[in-house]
Structure 1
Amino acid sequence: MSEYKLSIIIPTFNLENEIDNAFNSIKSQTIGFENIEVIFVDDNSTDNTLAKLNNYSHQFSNVKVLTTDKNSGYAGKPRNIGIQNATADYILFLDGDDELLLNTCEVLYDKIQFYNTDMVIAGHINVYSNGVCQHYPPLLHDNETSFKNTINPQLLNVNPAISAKLFNKFLLTKNNIIFPENIPGEDLIFLLETIINSRNILTLNNFYAYYRNLDNHSVTLNLSNDYFYGLIRAYILVCDLFEKYNIKNNIQEIVLHNHLSFFTERVIKVYFSDDFEDTDLKEIFSSDLFNELSNKDIFKDNYNFKLYFERMKNGDYNNRDLLNNIYQNFDFDSEIISDLKYVKQEISKLTIKPNKINEDNAYLRIINKKLYEENEKLKHELDEIKSSKLWKLKNKF
């Protein structure tokens, strides 16, 4: 039996200026620092991060420092190494540039023990460098919600922010659940497989577990070619996971619709970025990888999904109306209808519609860009006409 109540796994890469804040938030936990096993897994940092971690381990016997053999680029591999070396019964993940709230470990540990659940899910707070804070509860329910049937669209759509969840290690090892490596979106795959294999799950809808520190100029975090290819790989893995566990088609469609909506918003955002060429998007959507995603059975048998992929391949990136149409045509069963009605009622109570102005502005910019491109095309055709011999002959005098 472990001497620790929980293990906290922290992947690091070049975080010498941020890691102290993360570590101090762990040392300050009300559960008692001595009850926590801290496992740092450094992904071949090139700054002084590793030196700082080694200093922590020399000062505190409950701090382990491990390293990868070479930089993996994403958190999946370091986290898997952490799981292999964790000795406590429960595991919490934390990114090295984020911070736990003061009583996070105590609340999550007490809840998972008291209710004997496989996982406890809390909310998180995005904190931007300009001081803006965004609160993300796991569900729009009051207080706590217990789920015995975990194949539930609400749970499968919970924000994948991994540091807001406490996991039963036995569940992970028994089902050989690990993070996909070398891709972004590894949190999503790990979380979905954990939810599917859980006996029961508790959501703490009024409790926040950690601060996620974000730069105002970063949007999840770097919208590059590799980021989009990585998301596509992640969505392929989601489809494979659903096929493996025979998840009902209507639930698959709900979850995948939400992820494609997220994906589409990111595409629209970069469409107007000065640092991202339209040719890059065309290359992404003509790639074998995107074609592999579009050929998944769950999409091939649904006309609206098929149309979505065709439009993206043809350079028509604003598919909000089509995505809404897909939502309206879902085949809901009674349990899902009840869940979604509750969520829609809660959303309707909100007086402020987040990002509505930004979304409308992005839509107008798409229209403006299309009109500009059409105008340029017409100008080019007119120039060709003017350069023809017939035009010159008719306009000689």
Structure 2
Amino acid sequence: MYELSVVVPVYNVEKYIGKCLDSIVNQSLGIENIEVIIVNDATPDNSMEIVEEYATKYPSIKIISNEVNLGAGESKNKGLKEVTSDYVTFVDADDFISENTYEDCLKKIKSSNSDLLMYNWEFYREDGKIEPFSIHKPYFNENEIITDFKDFPEFAFMTSSVNKIYHKRLFSYLKFPNCKYDDNGVAIETLINANQIYFNNDVTYFYRKNEDSITQAITMSNIEGLTESIGILNELILKYPDYQRNITSLIIKFVDDILFWLCDYEWFVDEELKAINLLQSVTYNITNENLEFFNENIPFSLLFEEGIRNLNKYDDETFLAKFKYFNRLAKVNSLANLYVDTGEGFNEDNKIAINYRLSRENLLSFDLKDFKNIRSLRFDPIEGAFSKVKILDISPDLKTLSSNSENGINGEYQLFTTLDPSYIIEAKDVDEIRIRFKLSILNDEELSSLFVDKNNLINDLNNQKEETKKKKGLFGFMR
């Protein structure tokens, strides 16, 4: 019987899989004592040709294959079904481990009668650059035995599945969800249910950091995946209420990460608003008490504490304005969009976008020859900016019907406190439209005065809600 099983999902790693497998077959424990379960996640490259060479040479390497790409989480689940030993661990196929890792870890997990062992990891870069310290990285200088995860709040951030060895008593908690960040919930649940955790500072897992790694490019799928992971953590709070503060600390860190992404990367405004809405839908467990607990245990690590505290106080646009645009972090897109309604309303499929250089007076021309049965048009003069706009002319002799400005279309100019300003234009089967307009970005003073009014309105509504709550009886009926 094997002493340890290792599950390795494989997808698009032909550049790295050889070094990964070398670090496993050269373990001091002996490859004959290690069951290596390779899960071919329908990889389109030559990774499996390399794996098959190793499998031919080492009988303890077995291969199972997914008919279609299922992702890392489902691949781990499939690999777990093939495990025959009492202990299991995981390795990402582009990473590698030190030679004594498994022998040293098995000796310690058995002698200490622990059912979960965690060990150190380091970033590895081909270019030799040193990575900054990560809050998700263990920072113990000595070996530690932990009997209750609750007493070590910093463990909540150590959510990777690959630097851990699990005894079979924990196998039932190793159910990875089909989402981008599949490790987080599983890590927390195993930490909670482990009778004893051994932290081993003597061996190292090397986590490869490379420029073409999928985790280096932050897109909306990262935000969607991390908010989905927060949703899973919220479910665990209901399941394990005694660990609410520990789990919420991880949620706070993830929210801080997402706010950093929103500030540091280029986004369209509709993506930013979607991100804020997603965050607001999953952050109901964060309280001031939770934030204080976080700061006591992980001081000086939050970049956007004020943003986290205010996340659910405002609607999405007001929050985005206060959080990002008032802080001069805006990356305004001088991009105008013309949406064409051909009977199916305004949608992204029937749209013309034009990048332009913003000036005192702007003239944009849109070719509409490819559109049939035009009913109306929607003109968005800019994305991602609070603005004042005056349309000087729309030819051929077209009429502006309405706008989503604060003052309608009858003023000398339109004042937009939305990040997606728009005009509805009456049009019937025209081949071309030319729009001449003036546009200026609202300055901080103008914005502040506008949002003071909006804040007062929000505060009034909140006060009304509180008064209504006080007047209601136990079953919600007015007294």
Q: Structure 2 length normalisation: TM-score?
A: 0.61
* Aligned pair partner of 2:76 in 73, 76, 79: 79
Distance 1:67 1:386, change over 3 A: closer
Distance 1:379 1:22, change over 3 A: closer
The structure carrying a bigger helix percent of its residues is: 1
Q: State the 1:369 CA deviation.
A: 3.6
Q: Could you say which residue in structure 2 is the equivalent of 1:328?
A: none
Question: Residues 7-156 of structure 1 correspond to what in structure 2 (within 5 A)?
Answer: 7-72=5-70, 74-134=71-131, 139-154=138-153, 156=155
* Aligned pair partner of 1:292 in 281, 296, 308: 281
Which amino acid is 2:227 matched to?
Answer: I
Q: State the 1:117 CA deviation.
A: 0.5
Q: State the 1:223 CA deviation.
A: 1.1
The whole-number CA distance in structure 1 between the counterparts of 2:103 and 2:386 is 67
* Aligned pair partner of 2:223 in 228, 232, 241: 228
The whole-number CA distance in structure 2 between the counterparts of 1:369 and 1:142 is 39
Which amino acid is 2:8 matched to?
Answer: I
Distance 1:27 1:318, change over 3 A: farther
| Kept in 1: contact 2:263–2:329 (CA 8 A) | no
The whole-number CA distance in structure 2 between the counterparts of 1:158 and 1:21 is 28
Q: Could you say which residue in structure 1 is the equivalent of 2:452?
A: none
Q: Any runs of at least 4 consecutive aligned residues in structure 1 with deviations exceeding 6 A, and if so which?
A: 300-304, 375-379, 384-391
| Kept in 2: contact 1:164–1:208 (CA 8 A) | no
Is the partner of 1:37 in helix, strand or coil? strand
Distance 1:113 1:366, change over 3 A: farther
Q: Could you say which residue in structure 2 is the equivalent of 1:281?
A: 272
Question: Residues 161-180 of structure 1 correspond to what in structure 2 (within 5 A)?
Answer: 161-173=160-172, 176-180=173-177
Is the partner of 2:15 in helix, strand or coil? coil
Distance 1:37 1:218, change over 3 A: closer
The whole-number CA distance in structure 1 between the counterparts of 2:160 and 2:315 is 27
Distance 1:201 1:319, change over 3 A: farther
Gaps of 5+ in 1: 321-362, 392-397
Q: State the 1:255 CA deviation.
A: 3.0
Distance 1:366 1:116, change over 3 A: farther
Q: Could you say which residue in structure 2 is the equivalent of 1:313?
A: 316
Question: CA-to-partner distance for each residue in 1:60-90, whole Å, 9 max, x for gaps?
Answer: 2100101123112x31011111111111111
Distance 1:278 1:379, change over 3 A: closer
Is the partner of 2:183 in helix, strand or coil? helix
| Kept in 2: contact 1:138–1:203 (CA 8 A) | no
The whole-number CA distance in structure 2 between the counterparts of 1:218 and 1:14 is 10
Which amino acid is 2:99 matched to?
Answer: L
Question: Residues 231-310 of structure 1 correspond to what in structure 2 (within 5 A)?
Answer: 231-270=226-265, 273=266, 276-286=267-277, 289-294=278-283, 296-297=284-285, 307-310=310-313
* Pairing 1:157–2:156 present: yes
Q: Could you say which residue in structure 1 is the equivalent of 2:302?
A: none
The whole-number CA distance in structure 2 between the counterparts of 1:384 and 1:121 is 63
| Kept in 1: contact 2:7–2:39 (CA 8 A) | yes
Is the partner of 1:292 in helix, strand or coil? helix
Query: Could you tell which deviates more after superposition, 301-310 or 88-97?
Result: 301-310
Which amino acid is 1:192 matched to?
Answer: I
Distance 1:318 1:203, change over 3 A: farther
* Aligned pair partner of 1:211 in 200, 206, 214: 206
| Kept in 2: contact 1:128–1:213 (CA 8 A) | yes
Which amino acid is 1:88 matched to?
Answer: S
RMSD: 3.6
Distance 1:156 1:125, change over 3 A: closer
Q: Structure 1 length normalisation: TM-score?
A: 0.73
Distance 1:152 1:95, change over 3 A: same
Distance 1:100 1:371, change over 3 A: closer
Distance 1:314 1:123, change over 3 A: farther
The whole-number CA distance in structure 1 between the counterparts of 2:315 and 2:127 is 34
Q: Could you say which residue in structure 2 is the equivalent of 1:323?
A: none
Question: CA-to-partner distance for each residue in 1:24-53, whole Å, 9 max, x for gaps?
Answer: 111111111111111100110112222332
| Kept in 2: contact 1:94–1:163 (CA 8 A) | yes
The whole-number CA distance in structure 2 between the counterparts of 1:379 and 1:178 is 46
Q: Sequence identity of aligned pairs in percent?
A: 20
Which amino acid is 2:219 matched to?
Answer: S
Which amino acid is 1:277 matched to?
Answer: F
The structure carrying a bigger strand percent of its residues is: 2
**Greater Rg by CA:** 2
Question: CA-to-partner distance for each residue in 1:357-380, whole Å, 9 max, x for gaps?
Answer: xxxxxx9x983344979x999995
The whole-number CA distance in structure 2 between the counterparts of 1:318 and 1:87 is 55
The whole-number CA distance in structure 1 between the counterparts of 2:61 and 2:45 is 20
Gaps of 5+ in 2: 292-305, 334-357, 360-381, 395-409, 414-479
Q: Could you say which residue in structure 2 is the equivalent of 1:339?
A: none
Query: Could you tell which deviates more after superposition, 308-317 or 52-61?
Result: 308-317
The whole-number CA distance in structure 1 between the counterparts of 2:191 and 2:138 is 15
Q: Larger RCO: Structure 1 or Structure 2 (Cα < 8 Å, ≥ 6 residues apart)?
A: 1
Question: CA-to-partner distance for each residue in 1:232-275, whole Å, 9 max, x for gaps?
Answer: 100000110121122344334333222222232233222xx3xx
* Aligned pair partner of 2:328 in 368, 380, 390: 368
Q: State the 1:10 CA deviation.
A: 0.3
* Aligned pair partner of 1:5 in 3, 6, 17: 3
Question: Residues 335-374 of structure 1 correspond to what in structure 2 (within 5 A)?
Answer: 367-370=327-330
The whole-number CA distance in structure 2 between the counterparts of 1:384 and 1:153 is 61
Aligned length: 334
Is the partner of 1:15 in helix, strand or coil? coil
